[in-house]
Amino acid sequence: MKTTPLTEVHIGLGAKMAEFAGYNMPISYGTISDEHEKVRASVGIFDVSHMGEFILKGKDATKLIQQVTSNDVSKLEPGDAQYSCLPNKDGGIVDDLLVYRLFEDTCAEGEQAYMLVVNASNILKDWKWIKEHNTDDVRMHDISMFTGLLALQGPDAIKVLEKLTDIDLAGMRYYTFDKGVVAGEENVLVSATGYTGSGGFEIYAKNSQLVAIWNAIMDAGKEFDIQPIGLGARDTLRLEMGYCLYGNDIDDNTSPIEAGLGWITKTKKENFNSIETFRAQRKNGVTKKLVGFKMAERRVPRHDYIIEDADGNEIGKVTSGTQSPTLDIPIGMGYVPIDFAKEGTILKIVAGKKRLDATVTKMPFVKI
């Protein structure tokens, strides 16, 4: 298994470790519900250094990213970030990702520079896919193995991080970023992004800088009782917000339109993979849709549980499910035919021999 620069730190903290996307990652340090509530109420820190990062530079870098992503990267100014996906040629999704428009001092005059942040399990897949489309000699660099990533999340995240940097965190708009000194470490990228719905920042640094930054954040956060947070709570936090997880809620066979990601699918821009499919889905509608649902009983809906209608007909499968720490009830997501996607529709979740009631619910499940 691969490790991150903080693996030994996690083990020393008593984290429950497990393999995730080929990495030895912390799942939890205590209980998932306690870690979840810490992020919602105050501040927690995640090691997400397993994520992949690519740098793309060149006079045609914007052109290449426009071709391979669904969102409109031409709208980005240096210092802006954007959520997007890589459509395949069959109306599905190769991966979802973040696109960062880097500052002009990182490339030559007349060129553009970007950082793409991709899912750990798809690093090789995404690299190959983008490279196949690179017909204009855009320079590509995979910096995943040299880059660490921390997610400082929660309403008190800004109070912790502002102790350690002169970057204007208060003036940083959602989905923008800046570079500067953090905890004495230079050239650190800080973005106002995250995967929890509770606000905060993501911090990109060299592997050699990561332990020092982690330790400084933990020390600065003592007055807020900052806690390290594992991937278990990362999953419950994102699911309460209705955020998709690649491999569960979206994959090569799901359309972003079906997944409720029409807002990152800009079918009015220039040509990109599957654009005609997505245009047709916008015009004619889709046959299935990703919905959220709340369970009537205290049984957690697990991935791949069958979803039935009231007459016992199989109509879909659960893609994600968990016990919501905030709502104290089980929640889940899954694809169902469009006729069953209306809020308030009763579904049946098959759990062994039981058929449990669930109600289609508007997402996000919680309001932050």
The pLDDT tens digits for 306-328 are 999 999 999 999 999 999 999 99
Here the CATH number for the domain that contains residue 317 is 2.40.30.110
Residue 80 is assigned to a structural domain of this protein:
no
Residue 331 is assigned to a structural domain of this protein:
yes
Alpha-helix runs per DSSP H in the chain:
7-12, 32-41, 61-68, 123-133, 157-161, 207-220, 231-240, 275-284
What pLDDT digit, counting tens, does each position of 152-201 carry? 999 999 999 999 999 999 999 999 999 999 999 999 999 999 999 999 99
Cα-trace Rg, the chain: 21
Residue 120 is assigned to a structural domain of this protein:
no
Give me the number of domains the chain comprises: 2
Same domain, 207 and 331: no
Residue 126 is assigned to a structural domain of this protein:
no
Same domain, 169 and 316: no
Give the C-alpha separation, 193 to 244, whole Å. Answer: 15
Which residue type, as a one-letter code, is found at position 1? Answer: M
Residues 6+ apart with CB under 8 A from 298: 323, 329, 330
Boundary of a domain, candidates 213, 240, 267: 240
Same domain, 233 and 162: yes
Residue 73 is assigned to a structural domain of this protein:
no
pLDDT at residue number 149: 98
pLDDT at residue number 208: 98
Taking 90 as the threshold, does the pLDDT of residue 41 lie above it? yes
Boundary of a domain, candidates 185, 215, 240: 240
- Number of Cβ within 10 Å of residue 352's Cβ equals 8
Q: Percent of the chain having pLDDT more than 70?
A: 100
Domain of residue 302 covers: 287-361
Give the C-alpha separation, 101 to 87, whole Å. Answer: 20
Same domain, 236 and 296: no
Closest CA to 168 of 160, 157, 179: 179
Same domain, 191 and 329: no
Alpha-helix runs per DSSP H in 248-366:
275-284
